[in-house]
Amino acid sequence: MAKPSFLFLSFCFLVLLHSCAARRQGSPQQQQQPRYRHQQEGECQIQRLNAQEPQHRIQAEAGVTEFWDHNDDQFQCAGVAACRTIIEPKGLLLPAYTNAPTLVYIAQGRGITGVLVPGCPETFHSSQQSQEGERRGERQRFRDQHQKIRHFREGDIIALPAGVAHWSYNDGDRDVIAITIEDTGNNQNQLDNNPRKFFLAGNPQEGQRQQRELYGRRRGEQQNAGNVFSGFDTEVLAEAFGVNTETARKLQGEDDRRGHIIRVDRDLQVIRPSWSREEQEEQERRREYGGRYNGLEETICSARLIENINDPSRADIFNPRAGRLTTVNALNLPILNYLRLSAERGFLYRNAMKAPVWNINAHSVLYATRGEAQVQIVDQRGEAVFNGRLREGQIVVVPHNFVVVKQAGDEGFEWVGFKTNEHAMFSTLAGRTSVIRAMPVDVLANAYGISQEEARRLKLGRDEVVLLEPRYRSQRRAAA
């Protein structure tokens, strides 16, 4: 009897050990589900939301960056920070990295960007010069090689992982306007909720000083005055890079007064494919994969970081009398699986409405790109925390599960929404796919104290999905 008992106890121990290990490790899908945000209790006790303009700006030689106050309750609740950067033609936004994953929407202009992924090879180079030199028996001249360079244009979403350095250059003939959202509450940010930008060049000292004066500090926030090299000893930098001390001082940028966006005297000389060739290759990839990517064909070094959401043919929802809605998420831009973010681009025609919705699993940051809309946001108490106009250039945050409705004005309304989940989902209150449509008529009649006929009209009153065309009352109200 002792031997069977021992075997039984051993079996139980192995099962228990296996269960504990499985619970501790979990599947990759299970490990990715929690989204730990750097929030403290009470940060989302919002009584009132406001459509906000940028609070202050940092001027540079070839552009300006305008900041919204991330200390405001709505930004603290969502765990995000927002800014708008304007880069003039031939302006170079100096290389830097941030402490949080970032999404950038290009509202205007075009240019190129380099995203410097650690350990990736320098795949952009020209072999023609080397071959010519070898054939002529000449001494081989220095040939520049660098990591991949990507083109961007109006309507692009650019995904930037936390801690990965990047730079941008305006090679067009008009200003680049970029709207940036940093997800400081993301679990990739191991610091606090304060946005931090670590410059690798230049001396944004004056701008940083202005930012401290206008912005203040919060919860021990520390802001540096120069680039990261400025804190090292000059001799240490000279030794590390194998250069003289004069060059090391240039790295520190102490005498540089151009700011964080500098002007390039001549066109920036980099190795890059032509714009038309890059677009052709992108179209071929889309045809090959049917417009969908599963991420297996990409490495971290060649991963797509840019997706355009302005093209009407890419719309996910379209109503010819109301507008269109386009979404970019982890399904069509796999890098967002890592960043845990997504975005949407919306167009509402004159007096059209986006049905009342709530985000099931994300906060949403709305930036108005054109026109204006009447926006109402309601919390769990049934109180409107926002009821007003959202105009071009303004931002408002829609917290997780708060219900929001938008109705365009006479000039229509366009927006971009940044969401804090790579598979952001919403649920509608009106329309063909709404929760009202999904309930039995008798449930509606009893819940609202209305007749069966009124419940049927409530349930079937709208056949559109999300974007609702204006009815006679809306048009009459707008005319009044």
Summarised one tens digit per residue, pLDDT across range 291-313 is: 454 443 457 788 899 999 999 99
pTM: 0.82
pLDDT score of 34: 46
| Residue pair 159/341 in contact by the 8 Å Cβ criterion | yes
In 3D space, the residue among 151, 141, 106, 132 whose CA is nearest the CA of residue 272 turns out to be 151
In 3D space, the residue among 345, 350, 316, 311 whose CA is nearest the CA of residue 414 turns out to be 345
**What are the backbone angles phi and psi of residue 52, rounded to the nearest 5°?**
-115, 145
- Counting as low any pLDDT under 70, the low residues of the chain are 1-43, 121-142, 144, 146, 205-225, 271-272, 274-298, 472-480
Strand arrangement of the beta sheet that strand 156-160 belongs to? 56-60, 63-67, 81-87, 176-182, 102-108, 156-160, 306-308
pLDDT score of 383: 95
Q: pLDDT averaged over the chain?
A: 82
β-pair type (364-378, 261-263): unpaired
pLDDT score of 24: 34
Question: Measured between alpha carbons, how far is 113 from 16 in angstroms, rounded to an integer?
Answer: 52
pLDDT score of 129: 45
pLDDT score of 204: 79
In 3D space, the residue among 61, 110, 90 whose CA is nearest the CA of residue 267 turns out to be 90
First to last CA, the chain: 92
In 3D space, the residue among 259, 254, 267 whose CA is nearest the CA of residue 58 turns out to be 259
Question: Measured between alpha carbons, how far is 23 from 21 in angstroms, rounded to an integer?
Answer: 5
